[in-house]
Structure 1
Amino acid sequence: MTDLEFPTMPARSHVPRRWNSVAFTRGHHFEIKDGVSVDDLLARTTSPLSVILQVTKRCDFDCNFCSETLQRPDPTLADLERMRDNLLGVGRVFLSGGEPLLRRDFGDVVDLFADDFVVGVPTNATRGGQWAERMVGKVAYVNVGLDGPRAITRRLRGDYDKVMAGIRSFQRAGLPLSLSCVALRSGLHGLPYLLQIADTLEAGKLKLIMPLRKGNALKLQESEFITDSEAEAKFAELRTLAAEHQWRPAVRLTTWTSRTEGHMICVEPTGEANAWPVYDAENLFEPLGNVLHESIEAIWDRYRFKRNHLTKYLGLSIRATDHGGGHA
Structure 2
Amino acid sequence: MTDLGMLTVPPQRHRDLGGGVGYAFNGQHFDAPKDADVATIAATLQAPLSVIMQVTKFCDYDCSFCSETLRMPDPTLEQLDQIRQHLAGVARVFLSGGEPLMRKDFGEVVDIFTGHHIVAVPTNATHALDHARNIAGKIAYANVGFEGPRATFKRVRGDYDKTMAGVRALQEAGIPLALSAVVYRSTLSVLPYTVQIADVLGATKVKLILPLRKGNALNLADHEFITTEEAETTFARLKEQRAEMQWSPALRLTAWTPENEGHMIVIEPNGTARAWPVYDAPDLWENLGNVLEEPISEIWKRYRFKENHVSKYVGRSIHAVAQGV
Structure 2 unpaired stretches of 5+: 1-6
* Aligned equivalent of 2:17: 19
> Aligned letter for 2:8?
P
Alignment of 1:164-179 (within 5 A): 164-179=164-179
Alignment of 1:6-155 (within 5 A): 10=8, 12=10, 18-20=16-18, 21-25=20-24, 26-33=26-33, 36-155=36-155
> Aligned letter for 2:246?
Q
* 1:324–1:108 distance in 2 versus 1, CA, 3 Å: farther
Q: Name which of structure 1's ranges 303-312 and 31-40 shifts more when overlaid on structure 2.
A: 31-40
Q: Name which of structure 1's ranges 172-181 and 31-40 shifts more when overlaid on structure 2.
A: 31-40
> Aligned letter for 1:72?
M
> Aligned letter for 1:279?
Y
Note if contact 1:16-1:115 (Cα within 8 Å) is conserved in structure 2: no
What is the aligned residue count? 317
CA RMSD of aligned residues (A): 1.8
For 1:314 and 1:216, locate their aligned partners in 2 and report how far apart those are by CA, in whole Å.
30
For 2:115 and 2:168, locate their aligned partners in 1 and report how far apart those are by CA, in whole Å.
26
TM-score when scaled to structure 1?
A: 0.93
1:30 Cα offset (Å): 1.2
Note if contact 1:27-1:249 (Cα within 8 Å) is conserved in structure 2: no
Structure 1 counterpart SS, 2:275 = strand
* Aligned equivalent of 1:279: 279
* Aligned equivalent of 1:158: 158
Q: Percent identity?
A: 56
1:24 Cα offset (Å): 2.2
1:36 Cα offset (Å): 3.2
* 1:282–1:132 distance in 2 versus 1, CA, 3 Å: same
* Aligned equivalent of 2:4: none
Structure 2 counterpart SS, 1:315 = coil
1:135 Cα offset (Å): 1.0
Q: CA offsets per residue over residues 244-284 of structure 1, 9 Å max, x none? A: 11111111000101000000000000000000000110110
* Aligned equivalent of 1:6: none
For 1:11 and 1:189, locate their aligned partners in 2 and report how far apart those are by CA, in whole Å.
35
Alignment of 1:253-268 (within 5 A): 253-268=253-268
For 1:233 and 1:322, locate their aligned partners in 2 and report how far apart those are by CA, in whole Å.
18
* Aligned equivalent of 1:308: 308
Note if contact 2:14-2:22 (Cα within 8 Å) is conserved in structure 1: no
Over 4 Å off, 4+ runs: 11-18
For 1:257 and 1:308, locate their aligned partners in 2 and report how far apart those are by CA, in whole Å.
10
> Aligned letter for 2:318?
I
For 2:108 and 2:47, locate their aligned partners in 1 and report how far apart those are by CA, in whole Å.
25
* Aligned equivalent of 1:186: 186
For 2:313 and 2:129, locate their aligned partners in 1 and report how far apart those are by CA, in whole Å.
30
Structure 2 counterpart SS, 1:19 = strand
Q: Name which of structure 1's ranges 17-26 and 118-127 shifts more when overlaid on structure 2.
A: 17-26
For 2:8 and 2:299, locate their aligned partners in 1 and report how far apart those are by CA, in whole Å.
33
Structure 2 counterpart SS, 1:81 = helix
Structure 1 counterpart SS, 2:57 = coil
1:324 Cα offset (Å): 5.0
* Aligned equivalent of 2:242: 242
For 1:322 and 1:289, locate their aligned partners in 2 and report how far apart those are by CA, in whole Å.
35
